[in-house]
Amino acid sequence: MKTPTKNEARTSIIGQVMQTKEQMTQVSVHMPSGEPKSVWVPHACIANQQVIDGTTIMLLQDAEMNGSTFSVA
């Protein structure tokens, strides 16, 4: 896992993995409204991932993929 510099933001996603493709993973997360939402996460943005009792926790980092920069801030 890469140690972030002071200019890099980190965030996390907690949910259930729905499907995985070559460069991205789809995760179902619960929004503050209580409704689930599906999000796609580029693999390059996943700094660390752990599964606990069927729930996936992903620590995200800024990353570059296919010439595009993804900022997790």
Query: Does the global pTM surpass 0.85?
Result: no
- Condensed to tens digits (0 to 9), the pLDDT of residues 24-63 reads 999 999 888 888 899 999 999 999 999 999 999 999 998 8
Alpha-carbon span 64 to 31, nearest angstrom? 26
If you count them, how many residues does the chain have? 73
